[in-house]
Amino acid sequence: MSIYLDNAATTAPYPEVIAAMQPYLSEIYGNPSSTHSIGRKARTAIEQARKTIAGLVGASASEIIFTAGGTEAANIFLQGIARHVPHIISSPLEHPAVLATLRYLEKAKITPVTWLKPAGNGQLAPEHLRETLAQHPNALVALMHGNNEIGNLLPLPEVAAICQAYNAPFFTDAVQTTGRYTLNVNNSNLTGLAASAHKFHGPKGVGFLYLKKGTKLTCIYHGGEQERGLRMGTENVAAIAGMAKALELSYARLAASRQHIERLKSTLTNLLREKVPGVQFNGTSGKQNEGLYTILSASFPPHPENDMLIFKLDLAGIAVSAGSACASGANKPSHVLQALQHDEARATVRFSFAASNTVAEMHVVADKLAEIYG
């Protein structure tokens, strides 16, 4: 039996997504910058996808920039805006795509950065942000909507309102929440948003940046005019078409998927509490009505084989991760757990769910962990 619970790292593409991509890999293979008929058909597919995605997130089509994924979207925005803002405010819990970029900007003395201090459960106090913005009005605020490791959710409307009060542009990494929560970028007063298709059952290697109309960015690339001159290179037509289809389907199925996934998470949480003495949950992930409903970050008690826990689960046919897939090969502790002063003697597993998972699988996982820690 194979059980896949690493959906925060990547999701399986919907069959309809693969079908939507196929014509642009076989028949309509033209370069979308070409003026002949095959090229024009490819261009039409891109612009239709742009309209579809814009409509689903409450943007105008001209505000959607196609990228190679969330990391590139974050870099285009953050490096592009850095020379146009006096200061940046962020958190040490951000995804490496944002964290490493901001540390580069700080080290290179391009833009100073102030790091907000999270509480022990990883939550950021809106009042702390307000106080920091009072010291640095007009600063860029860069805070992720949903944490990819511990599942904490940012109170987006409240943070946006604080930013608006201080005339501060607001960027959010919404890689874990796009397709899983309804988003309206205009109502949220966002300046920028990063998303990645393979997190919502689309293809890998494609994402988008929402860039609010009128926002000034300095281009970090050279050599082309695609995507409003911000992301050069021939567009990946098939992947873009697949991403639009995936987002469309994710929102069409959102209510039913969420209800099912919430049941899965609740079941596994309760089973682990029952079967594994000493289990703890990181951030707000163990609370049913708080945090991302797609992520459960569990911390297991000290054990001689904790270093092999992910491997032992894999041998049992259970695919999970310890944290961010972007750092999984780094062989060092999670920066998120370090910031929360997590006990390194405990082993952490991130379970992340999709609608394709079943309640029966949750019982198998819990039983295996009970066997390991029994």
pLDDT of residue 217: 96
Q: What is the pLDDT of residues 109-168, one digit of tens each?
A: 999 999 999 988 888 989 999 999 999 999 999 999 999 999 999 999 999 999 999 999
Tokens of 198: 């393979």
Total domains present in the chain: 2
Q: What is the pLDDT of residues 82-109, one digit of tens each?
A: 999 999 999 999 999 999 999 999 999 9
Evaluate if residue 201 carries a pLDDT over 60. Answer: yes
DSSP string, 73-138: HHHHHHHHHGGGSS-EEE-TTS-HHHHHHHHHHHHTTSS-EEEPPP-TTSPPPHHHHHHHHHHSTT
pLDDT of residue 207: 98
Q: Beta 3-4 vs 318-319: how paired, if at all?
A: parallel
If asked whether residues 237 and 123 sit together in one domain, one would say yes
Classified as helix, coil or strand, 339 is helix
Q: What is the pLDDT of residues 310-325, one digit of tens each?
A: 999 999 999 999 865 5
Q: From CA 124, how far away is CA 24, in angstroms rounded?
A: 44
> Which band of pLDDT confidence, cut at 50, 70 and 90, is reported for residue 341?
confident
Evaluate if residue 329 carries a pLDDT over 80. Answer: no
Q: What is the pLDDT of residues 227-238, one digit of tens each?
A: 988 998 999 999
Q: Is 59 exposed, middle or buried (0-12, 13-18, 19+ CB in 10 A)?
A: buried
- For residue 59, which of 155, 207, 186, 243 has the smallest C-alpha distance? 186
Candidate list 326, 339, 364, 370, residue with the active-site label: 326
Cβ-contact 194, 173 below 8 angstroms: yes
Q: What percent of the chain clears pLDDT 70, i.e. is strictly above it? A: 97
If asked whether residues 247 and 297 sit together in one domain, one would say no
If asked whether residues 240 and 311 sit together in one domain, one would say no
Q: Which of 219, 252, 285 is the last residue of a domain?
A: 252
- For residue 354, which of 3, 2, 7 has the smallest C-alpha distance? 7
Q: What is the pLDDT of residues 40-64, one digit of tens each?
A: 999 999 999 999 999 999 999 999 9
Q: What is the mean pLDDT of the chain?
A: 94
Residue 6, strand partner residues = 352
pLDDT of residue 328: 46
Evaluate if residue 326 carries a pLDDT over 70. Answer: no
Name 242's Cβ contacts closer than 8 Å, sequence gap at least 6.
13, 17, 18, 20, 21, 197, 202, 203, 206
Q: From CA 259, how far away is CA 252, in angstroms rounded?
A: 14
154 sits in which H/E element: none
If asked whether residues 280 and 363 sit together in one domain, one would say yes
Cβ-contact 296, 289 below 8 angstroms: no
If asked whether residues 215 and 264 sit together in one domain, one would say no
Query: Could you tell me the residue range of the domain that residue 339 belongs to?
Result: 3-11+254-373
Q: Which of 231, 252, 273 is the last residue of a domain?
A: 252
If asked whether residues 258 and 242 sit together in one domain, one would say no
Evaluate if residue 266 carries a pLDDT over 90. Answer: yes
If asked whether residues 306 and 157 sit together in one domain, one would say no
Active site residue 219: no
Classified as helix, coil or strand, 39 is helix
If asked whether residues 34 and 149 sit together in one domain, one would say yes
Q: What's 282's domain CATH number?
A: 3.90.1150.10
Q: Which of 252, 282, 299 is the last residue of a domain?
A: 252
> Which band of pLDDT confidence, cut at 50, 70 and 90, is reported for residue 327?
very low
pLDDT of residue 330: 45
> Which band of pLDDT confidence, cut at 50, 70 and 90, is reported for residue 340?
confident
If asked whether residues 31 and 150 sit together in one domain, one would say yes
If asked whether residues 198 and 301 sit together in one domain, one would say no
If asked whether residues 57 and 193 sit together in one domain, one would say yes
pLDDT of residue 338: 85
Once rounded to an integer, what is the mean pLDDT over residues 343-358? Answer: 95
pLDDT of residue 370: 96
pLDDT of residue 119: 87
Kindly report the pTM of this predicted structure: 0.94
pLDDT of residue 323: 64
Evaluate if residue 208 carries a pLDDT over 60. Answer: yes
- For residue 258, which of 200, 202, 298, 196 has the smallest C-alpha distance? 200
pLDDT of residue 130: 96
Q: What's 28's domain CATH number?
A: 3.40.640.10
